[in-house]
Structure 1
Amino acid sequence: MRESQFTDRDEAGRVLAEAVTTRAPELVGQGTLVLGLPRGGVPVARYVAEALDGELDVLVARKIGMPGQPELGIGAVTAGGPAVFDHRSLYQFGLDPERLEPEVERERAEAQRRLLRYRGDRPPPRVEGRPVVIVDDGLATGVTARAALRAIRAREPSRLDFAAPVCAAQAAPLLSEEADDVYCVMQPADFVAVGEWYTDFAQLTDADVEEALAAALHRARR
């Protein structure tokens, strides 16, 4: 066990929330929209939303895998935004984005399905003219985060930030072109995978995401 590990996503969320409110106190009480990337980003985002006295919702982004090696992410897509690719990977493997279009459409459809399940008949939150923070439980290559940021940027928020408890050192700077600010509690030089920085990194279910969203809605209505 690493001394710098988070116990679980709950602890990571509390620590990240403190980091965001310390660095950006102007976001507190300003109607900030906090968007968690499911599944793992939503329980983390819940704490950030509470600390900012903001609104919690979801933004579904899906990894686009390399043909024959779907676990190797070379791009990402949201339910409505454009696909984003890691062009270094495309060049390395000699891939053309057009060849990946069937995979893009499959993952976009899955993102739409999940978004419908998580949000149900609730209307999408207003983005235009308000500050938005996108939250995940970790940042590895950054391609999923870039897809999420571009999808929201197109909806004209007044400010758009990204936050994660742990980030690969080489990935965080790549988001500076997409986000107004990036919050990373840890940027370990020996980063390999997000899960190694958590003692408990259990796989979450759709029900876990729905529970976190329901709790946030209950808090907002009190």
Structure 2
Amino acid sequence: MTRTTSRGPVFADRREAGRDLAEVLLHRQWSQPLVLGLARGGVPVAAEIAHRLGAALDVVVARKIGAPGRPELGVGAVTADGPATYDDVLLAKLGLTRQQLFDICEREQAEARRRESVYHADRSPEPREERDVILVDDGLATGATATAALRALREQQPATLTLAVPVSSSQAAAAVHDEADEVICLSQPHDFRAVGQWYGDFSQTTDEEVLAALGKTGTR
């Protein structure tokens, strides 16, 4: 299910977005729910949802693979484990091959592994098998990192896999539609340009904030 509105909301911050998402998720039945924040910006959103659902909270890391010389242009994404995912249409438009991106992919996967080790330094990851897993991000611009995360999570055999985001471009929502059992999006604004435009406070989430969120929820 994707709820579409002609005019997107402006969230005060990620925590408010999480509370708004939680109101929708509370109306569903969950079996051993696990809420996973897509690091780093998705974690404050996910923490609010986990609190409202009384669910366990954990974190998953996916890194954007940027085009050579244009790191802001994501042509794919990769998680700490598993293969990278690519936008082959965009690669073709740019005249790039996956092999040309090998070094960038390796570097981003190494960073994903580093962050995973930081976040799980004193705790093992929550098991995902046979649980209702809810992957949360603060918004989708292209859907590349969410796609990589969803595919990696699917390999871990959850009972169900849901993607929940406050806001998304219509293109990104379409791109992730088949990767999850359900996609919950509060708004797909027609004038979407960037995720940050829909937040009053979209300051960068730090590793310290991620660790604080994981500890505060008492998931271990």
Q: What's the TM-score once normalised by structure 1's chain length? A: 0.93
The alignment partner of 1:125 has SS state of: coil
Give the C-alpha shift of residue 4 in structure 1: 2.4
Paired amino acid for 2:82: G
Aligned CA distance change for structure 1 residues 10 and 80 (closer, same or farther; 3 Å): same
Give the C-alpha shift of residue 101 in structure 1: 0.9
Paired amino acid for 1:113: R
Paired amino acid for 1:151: A
How many residues align? The count is 214
- 2:80 aligns with 79
Deviations 1:147-173 (A, max 9, x none): 000000011111001011111112112
Q: Do structure 1's residue 52 and structure 2's residue 53 form an aligned pair?
A: yes
Q: Which has the higher helix share?
A: 1
Q: Work out the CA distance in 2 between the residues paired with 1:51 and 1:115.
A: 25
Identity of aligned residues (%): 54
Deviations 1:114-150 (A, max 9, x none): 0111111311211111110100000110011000000
Q: What are the residue-to-residue correspondences of 1:198-209 with 2, within 5 Å?
A: 198-209=199-210
Give the C-alpha shift of residue 52 in structure 1: 2.1
Deviations 1:35-60 (A, max 9, x none): 10111100000111122221100000
The alignment partner of 2:96 has SS state of: coil
Q: Do structure 1's residue 19 and structure 2's residue 20 form an aligned pair?
A: no
Give the C-alpha shift of residue 77 in structure 1: 0.3
Could you list the runs of 5+ residues in structure 1 that have no partner in the other structure?
Answer: none
Q: Do structure 1's residue 101 and structure 2's residue 106 form an aligned pair?
A: no
- 1:8 aligns with 13
Q: Which runs of 4+ in 1 moved over 3 A?
A: none
Q: Work out the CA distance in 2 between the residues paired with 1:173 and 1:100.
A: 25
- Whether the 8 Å CA contact 2:63–2:145 is kept in 1: the answer is yes
Q: What are the residue-to-residue correspondences of 1:6-155 with 2, within 5 Å?
A: 6-22=11-27, 25-27=28-30, 30-155=31-156
- Whether the 8 Å CA contact 1:31–1:53 is kept in 2: the answer is no
Could you list the runs of 5+ residues in structure 2 that have no partner in the other structure?
Answer: 1-6
Aligned CA distance change for structure 1 residues 3 and 169 (closer, same or farther; 3 Å): closer
